[in-house]
Amino acid sequence: MPNSIKVLLIEDNVADIALIREALAGEPIPVTLHVAKDGEHAIEMLAAGQFEPDLVILDLNLPKVSGLSFLERYHPHVPVVVFSSSTNQDDVQRAFQLGVKDFVPKPSDLESYKRVVSYIVRRWSVK
């Protein structure tokens, strides 16, 4: 078990960022959340080598560089999970072609949202 989990969250919606922070606050293993508000910022953060995430949680509908464009440009050596409100089957298929480990729809109710975020972190970040 790791001492802490480093998660790169690529998300532009401030409400979603706050919900994810709240959901991760209750995890048994501490989670350090690094946030990029668009795909371009995420690429810059990763290229600069500021930190090496254990997991990337990616929204698809992002400004500047979309989630799919991020995946086309950056090939992480860690699991990437798409967490998006998109249910477009072309987006789902393309994301898997680009190497994501999971595609999780964002739930609409608060408790399910928190449960799903916890599931993503527990399922994909523990080595």
Domain range annotation of the chain: 5-125
Q: Do 84 and 112 form a contact (C-beta atoms < 8 A)?
A: no
Options 1.10.357.10, 3.40.50.300, 3.30.200.20, 3.40.50.2300; CATH of 5-125? 3.40.50.2300
Q: At what angle do helices 14-25 and 110-125 cross, to 10 degrees?
A: 70
Mean pLDDT taken over the chain: 92
pTM of the model: 0.93
Confidence band of 2 (pLDDT split at 50, 70, 90): low
Based on the number of CB atoms within 10 Å of its own CB, is 24 exposed (0-12), middle (13-18) or buried (19 or more)? buried
Kindly compute the dihedral angle of the four CA atoms of residues 76, 30, 51, 40, in this order, to the nearest 10 degrees. 60
H helix or E strand, kind and range, residue 83? strand 80-84
* Share above pLDDT 70 across residues of the chain, in percent, rounded to a whole number: 97
pLDDT tens-digit series, residues 76-112 = 789 999 999 988 999 999 999 999 999 999 998 999 9
43-71: average pLDDT: 92
